[in-house]
Amino acid sequence: VSTKRVLVIGSGGREHALAWRAVQEGHDVLVAPGSEGIEGTARCVGVAVRDADGLVALAKAEHVDLVVVGPEQPLVDGLADRLRAADIDTLGPGAAGARLEGSKAFAKDFMRRHGIPTAAASIVRDVADGCAALRRFAEPPVVKASGLAAGKGVVVPETFEEAETALRDCLERGAFGAAGATVVLEERLSGEELSFFVLTDGAAAVAFAPSQDHKRLGDGDAGPNTGGMGACAPAPRGDERVCARILAEVVEPTLVGLRADGTPYRGVLFVGLMIDERGAPFVIEYNVRFGDPEVQPLMFGAVDPVVGPFLAAARGELDPGTLRATPAATVVLAAPGYPGEPARGIPIRGLERASARPEVAIFHAGTRRDGHGGWCSDGGRVLGVCARGPDVASAVARAYQAVDDIEFPGARLRRDIGWRAR
């Protein structure tokens, strides 16, 4: 494959991992806006993710062959439409396709119309209807703000009182602004969660190994929800049989549905699933981009090249298939205070030693230089410590050895990443 110029949009651990992988494959990589932590991997250009004019101009001026859009907000805002209108190959759906993530009410309606397995749900816009709908559930339903809420818009209540409070937070108290003006109430599913990513050009799909995030802050899945405290791939629950069911019962009908609705889709489709005891998949949500931290083990463990398929998906020339991967895992180091207000400027030492370990890579999510040749924290999730191994358990063990090389006072981390695979 010839060298391509790839522009990755975003500034977190996800974008660092994507840029790292593209560099490994021999491509010339730019990141906008990137970060000081990503600068060690690829050239960063200070254009903001929501500055569509600036990004189109940058892609043109730099003769970029492919744009990979990291975060969801610019996709929902139509950045991919803007880039494609300027003749720039882009991995990421246009605004119409991005509604699958941008509106949980839209996604629920889409799944119902196209026979895609998902929890029974009620979509409500005012408190009286919402309270009436609540009473029709046998158990307290999950309460979801329909719009983008940076991973904070979902409550899984234990009681009907808690469910009603969450409903009122959205509809009366405006906790999520316009994103909470519509609420999806849905039946609570049980089983094991799985993250499933495919590249698609709207017709063919190329699947990554199934992966798992660890959303709760504490070991044993205790404590508050976070942006993700670690991930591993492949996840054992996604065995061959389960993956075949996901492809047949979820991915294929989703692509058929998008085509039937006249919605072109060229990008990453991320399906968040609950797998029940019998191995049946149910869609919890769609996302329209890679998930962080799952993307870190997928990029670090990738055996087959990914940039070729990215470009093929962007151009509508994708051949269906599966990407092979080595087992890998990421442990997230978060700042003291996370997921509340994170402490910034906490010194971090030992990164050189940790990243010099074989089969280890460190992805920067929220760091900056301290002005004296070192690093300090500058965000909630700060670092992703990623490792590969012959199996997930060895990859996890290696990641923790590297974690223990790092001095980051008060850092929050889980010690049980990949527990389901051990």
Ligand X SMILES: Nc1ncnc2c1ncn2[C@@H]1O[C@H](COP(=O)(O)OP(=O)(O)O)[C@@H](O)[C@H]1O
Positions that interact with Mg ion (CB under 5 A): 272, 285
Q: What is the residue-wise DSSP string for 349-388?
A: B-HHHHHHSTTEEEEESSEEE-SSS-EEE-SSEEEEEEEE
Which residue lies nearer to ligand X by CB, 169 or 186?
186
CB of 107 to ligand X, least distance (A): 9
Residue 121: contacted member of Mg ion, ligand X, none (CB under 5 to 8 Å, by partner type) = none
Amino acid at 271: V
Tell whether residue 183 is a contact of ligand X (CB under 6 A). Answer: no
CB of 291 to ligand X, least distance (A): 9
Tell whether residue 142 is a contact of ligand X (CB under 6 A). Answer: yes
Q: How many CB atoms lie within 10 A of CB 189?
A: 17
Residues 102-121 that bind ligand X (CB under 6 A): 119
Prior bond to 293 cis, omega within 30? yes
Q: Can you tell me whether residue 332 is helix, strand or coil? A: strand
Contact flags string 150-169 toward ligand X, x per CB under 6 A: -x-xx-x-------------
Which residue lies nearer to Mg ion by CB, 197 or 375?
197
Residues 6+ apart with CB under 8 A from 304: 323, 324, 325
Which residue lies nearer to ligand X by CB, 237 or 344?
237
**Cα distances (angstroms) measured from residue 387 to each of 198, 285, 384:** 22, 28, 10
Which residue lies nearer to ligand X by CB, 202 or 228?
228
Which residue lies nearer to ligand X by CB, 90 or 146?
146
CB of 335 to ligand X, least distance (A): 21
Angle at the Cα of 312 from the Cα atoms of 203 and 108, rounded to 5 degrees? 40
Tell whether residue 100 is a contact of ligand X (CB under 6 A). Answer: no
Tell whether residue 294 is a contact of ligand X (CB under 6 A). Answer: no
Residue 119: contacted member of Mg ion, ligand X, none (CB under 5 to 8 Å, by partner type) = ligand X
Angle at the Cα of 82 from the Cα atoms of 76 and 85, rounded to 5 degrees? 140
Prior bond to 234 cis, omega within 30? yes
Residue 154: contacted member of Mg ion, ligand X, none (CB under 5 to 8 Å, by partner type) = ligand X
What tokens were used for 413?
A: 């981390």
What tokens were used for 25?
A: 């494959």
Interface size with ligand X, residues (CB under 6 A): 15
Amino acid at 111: M
Tell whether residue 383 is a contact of ligand X (CB under 6 A). Answer: no
Tell whether residue 89 is a contact of ligand X (CB under 6 A). Answer: no
Which residue lies nearer to ligand X by CB, 5 or 188?
188
- Which range, of 2-10, 30-38, 186-194, 257-265, touches ligand X by CB under 6 A? 186-194
Residues 312-351 that bind ligand X (CB under 6 A): none
Binding ligand X (rule: CB under 6 A), the pick from 186, 292, 294, 405 is: 186
**Which residue is listed with tokens 């139509």?**
78
Which residue lies nearer to Mg ion by CB, 195 or 367?
195
Residues 6+ apart with CB under 8 A from 34: 8, 11, 15, 19, 42, 43, 44, 45, 46
Which residue lies nearer to ligand X by CB, 100 or 334?
100
Q: How far is CA 103 from the centre of its chain?
A: 16
Prior bond to 33 cis, omega within 30? yes
Q: Can you tell me whether residue 237 is helix, strand or coil? A: coil
Which residue lies nearer to ligand X by CB, 117 or 320?
117
Specify the pairing of strand 328-334 against strand 347-348: unpaired
- Which range, of 19-27, 61-69, 182-190, 246-254, touches ligand X by CB under 6 A? 182-190
Tell whether residue 279 is a contact of ligand X (CB under 6 A). Answer: no
Running DSSP on this structure, what letter comes out for residue 174?
-
Which residue lies nearer to ligand X by CB, 5 or 215?
215
Running DSSP on this structure, what letter comes out for residue 92?
S
Helices (H), 267-408: 295-301, 307-315, 351-356, 392-403
Contact flags string 210-249 toward ligand X, x per CB under 6 A: -----x----------------------------------
Tell whether residue 79 is a contact of ligand X (CB under 6 A). Answer: no
**Interaction site with ligand X (CB under 6 A):** 119, 142, 144, 151, 153-154, 156, 186, 188-189, 193, 215, 272, 284-285
